[in-house]
Structure 1
Amino acid sequence: MGILRLLFRAFSRSRRPKLVVVERDTSVIHVPEGRMPRPTEDQRGRPPPIIAVQQTTQIKIVEVQELRGRAWVIDGDTIDISGTRIRLSGIDAPEMDHPYGKNAKWMLVNLCKGHEVRAVFDGDLSHDRTVATCYLPDGRDLSAEMVKAGMAIDWRKFSGGKYRGLEPDGIRKKLWRCDARQKGLMPPGLPD
């Protein structure tokens, strides 16, 4: 299991998410006496049996376009499905140590609780997180739901303005740190 996890992490850092599948096949082959050179005797004077064991390991790399499963919420715009960190596409939510950060996380927890989340990857990475549009079983977009609830704002640079119309009035003043980060107004050296 450890080799699978290491391979998965190595390939998941590339541009597109990949799933590595390791299969082990152990097969016993009976070799007729005349086909294989007679092995030398062991220390007790007995020849070893004429059975060859062949073990092969095949590694298949499969591109994953979509992932489904229970979501563990990390913060207001990051979830984890089956060990894959996923950033919700097109939005920006406050960090955990910012005002409203914990509220944003718990809003996302309540949206995901008891549901299987479907993540459709778009091929981008953001701080070692795979960017994806995530959907609830009823088809609702998690990013849109977070913006409608006033717990995140549209990030036009990445969404093309897709969620801007869903923002409640005055939300950019409430989540001023997210707005400042998008405009590049946060002073360097200070945590976001």
Structure 2
Amino acid sequence: MEYVVLLLLVLGIWLLRELRPKSQWPESNDPQWPPEDERWDRRSSNRASPPHRRRQQSPAPFDASSSRPANTNEVLKGSAYVVDGDTITISKRQIRLFGIDAPEMNHPFGKKAKWALVALCKGQTVRAEVIASDDHGRSVAKCTLPDGRDLSAEMVRQGLAIDWPKYSNGAYLALEPDGVRKKLWLATARQKGHMHVWHKFEASKKAD
């Protein structure tokens, strides 16, 4: 009798599972959990994208308001990871090239400036003589290649950066090709404090 009751109990459980509404979600260990139509749609979700899929953001600029002279003996050496046309990283230390201003990555010639700097630094040991640091650990440095070439000077010579007299005292001004300040007009506008020109450009890009 006990076996009959047990058999009926098992049969009843099986029937309940088979006859449950089809819309009910399956067990959590089901390989299709959750149902296909209930899965998270990454395209429409407001959640942040996974870190490896996030768009690389432009590095924060050097904070001149909190800058302080660095130890004149501080020198970094090593392979350089190029962030943009005037910013590199050596041993996880962000370094702004001394005395110049290159276009931002989303500005005209920004990507070209970055790849020109990549070509200069590729396979080279870069020497960075730190001049100043800010409160966020970013540094300004005179960066040179093993053959003595100044990376700031090379970027200006190629017409992919302009001298920034406020910080360089005009050290690279004579190296600027003719017409480069019209070509890199957004960098020129920044030096003149005309940031409304930037805002107008960026608004037009968002509208496209």
Q: Does the alignment pair 1:180 with 2:189?
A: yes
Q: Distance in 1 between matches of 2:80 and 2:135?
A: 18
What's the CA shift for 1:172?
A: 0.3
- The answer to whether the 8 Å contact 1:87/1:126 transfers is no
- Structure 1 residue corresponding to 2:167, chosen from 155, 158, 183: 158
Partner SS for 1:187: helix
Partner SS for 1:147: helix
**Mapping of 1:71-150 within 5 angstroms?**
71-125=80-134, 129-150=138-159
Q: Distance in 1 between matches of 2:184 and 2:135?
A: 21
Structure 1 residues 189 and 117, CA, compared in 2 at 3 Å: closer, same or farther? closer
Q: Provide the alpha-carbon RMSD of the alignment.
A: 2.5
Post-superposition Cα deviations, 1:99-154, rounded to whole Å, max 9, x if no partner, equal: 00000000000000000000001124397520000000000000000000000000
- The answer to whether the 8 Å contact 2:186/2:197 transfers is no
- Tell me which residue corresponds to 1:5: none
- Provide the identity percentage: 60
Q: Distance in 1 between matches of 2:176 and 2:132?
A: 26
Q: Distance in 1 between matches of 2:136 and 2:113?
A: 19
Q: Distance in 2 between matches of 1:155 and 1:138?
A: 24
- Tell me which residue corresponds to 2:28: none
Q: Distance in 2 between matches of 1:176 and 1:85?
A: 25
Partner SS for 1:79: strand
Higher strand share: 1
Scaled by the length of structure 2, the TM-score of the pair is 0.60
Q: Distance in 1 between matches of 2:136 and 2:189?
A: 19
Q: Does the alignment pair 1:169 with 2:178?
A: yes
What's the CA shift for 1:64?
A: 6.0
Q: Distance in 2 between matches of 1:126 and 1:109?
A: 27
**Mapping of 1:42-81 within 5 angstroms?**
65-81=74-90
Structure 1 residues 96 and 160, CA, compared in 2 at 3 Å: closer, same or farther? same
Post-superposition Cα deviations, 1:62-91, rounded to whole Å, max 9, x if no partner, equal: x96100000000000000000000000000
- The answer to whether the 8 Å contact 2:87/2:97 transfers is yes
Q: Distance in 2 between matches of 1:152 and 1:107?
A: 11
Higher helix share: 2
